[in-house]
Amino acid sequence: MPYKKFLIAIAIISFSIITSDTTYSLTKKDSKKTIQPKEESQKYTPLVDRLSHDGFDRAYLLKIFSDPRVTFQKKVLVINLINRNIKVDYSRFLEDQAVSHAKKFLNRELSFLDKVEKRFKVDKEVIVSILLIESFFGKRTGENIVFNVFSTLSLATEPEILNDTYHKIKENYPSLTFEEVRKRADRKSKWAYQELKHLLKIAEREKLNVFGIRGSWAGAFGIAQFLPSSYLRYGLDGNNDQKVRLFNRYDSMVSVANYLKKNGWKDNLSNKRKRAVIRRYNNSTPYVTTVLNLSKKISS
């Protein structure tokens, strides 16, 4: 009898565990379907007010910000405020495998790239190098909903959010003072708000689902990893479909060339000037050096 009771007890425990796991699984699935909590959507009220004041339709904004896909990205906010303290290693882009991949892309698109080089006077190897480093030709464009990145950063200076962010940053960067974090948050929020407005304009102009645009933690998207402001300023249609889609390689190639040309690239440019132009694309010395070194490896 004791043995039989023991087996019954084990069966009951096992059933409880299975039931618990199933309930958790179902709850997890259902949580994706739940609408955004009221208190969470209220966090965006100041942002809705500002955007409405700047000319965006309030009904349209309320519809967007009440969507369950709108989420506040705490980790994205933190990394945007500490990214200058993080050293990025670009050496992997100069390894044989990466160089080989770049050469294959160049050879495959040589006819198109020759036309782009002739039109914009920008070295095709530099264009290819940038596209490889930025997204590995579209394989790594980022999984963040860009709208969430900019809406989160736009709220960086809200008192409660700023205090919470500062305490999270201080855990790993104790030397950073509250005042320094506040200044960074102020600069980043002003910048992000402008990018958010540009993003909404792009979605409206191109008839795009604003939640379908995914990119990096910095809000850059597409093969060329453009910010919304760069998209509006430099984005071009490369495949003649009357649309600018930076997830399309042809649009991306001409857009990068246009970006570099409009920032000063031309024939017979000195190495110093080349570095200055590429720095406008990404303000990082290691990035600039890698682009130029990779372009040399590709052309050799």
Q: Are residues 209 and 298 in the same domain?
A: yes
What pLDDT was estimated at residue 275? 97
> Which two structure tokens, joined as six digits, stand for 183?
């200044």
Distance of alpha carbon 86 from the chain centroid:
17
- Domain assignment present for 92: yes
In the structure, what pLDDT confidence band is assigned to residue 41 with cuts at 50, 70 and 90?
Answer: low
Cα 254 to Cα 219: distance, rounded to the nearest angstrom:
21
Q: Which of 173, 12, 16 is nearest to 82 (CA)?
A: 173
pLDDT class of 5 with cuts at 50, 70, 90: very low
d(CA 10, CA 264): 75
What are 162's two structure tokens? 């700023």
| Percentage above 70 pLDDT, the chain | 86
Distance, in Å, from the CA atom of 272 to the CA atom of 3, rounded to the nearest integer, reads: 84
Count of domains forming the chain = 2
For residue 293, tell me if it sits in a domain: yes
- The answer to whether residue 102 is domain-embedded is yes
Is 90 exceeded by the pLDDT of residue 138? yes
pLDDT by residue (tens digit) across 199-208? 999 999 999 9
Q: What percent of the chain has pLDDT over 90?
A: 82
State the pLDDT at residue 140.
95
**Per-residue pLDDT tens for 111-124?**
999 999 999 999 99
Structural domain contains residue 56: no
pLDDT of residue 26 exceeding 70: no
Beta strands in 61-180 (DSSP E): 144-145
Are 25 and 174 within one domain? no
One domain for residues 199 and 104: yes
Residues 21 and 102 in one domain: no
222: left (phi over 0), alpha (psi -120 to 50) or beta: left
Q: What is the mean pLDDT of residues 11-38?
A: 37
What pLDDT score does 8 carry?
37
Q: Are residues 192 and 137 in the same domain?
A: yes
Q: Clarify whether residues 154 and 20 are in a common domain.
A: no
**Judgement on whether residues 28 and 143 belong to the same structural domain of the protein:** no
> In this predicted structure, which of 8-12, 189-193, 205-209, 224-228 has the lowest mean pLDDT?
8-12
Is residue 44's pLDDT more than 80?
yes
Residues 124 and 237 in one domain: yes
pLDDT, residue 21, reads: 36
Are residues 20 and 169 located together in one domain of the fold?
Answer: no
| Range of lowest pLDDT (26-30, 112-116, 160-164) | 26-30
pLDDT band at 68 (very low <50, low <70, confident <90, very high): very high
Structural domain span for residue 6 = 1-34
Confidence of residue 33 (pLDDT cuts 50, 70, 90): very low
CA distances from 278 to 77, 129, 200, 286, 290 (A): 26, 11, 27, 11, 11
Phi, psi of 265 (to 5 degrees): -75, 140
Give alpha helix (H) positions in 136-270.
146-154, 159-172, 178-205, 228-234, 249-262
Residues 29 and 76 in one domain: no
249 falls within a domain: yes
pLDDT at position 180 is 96
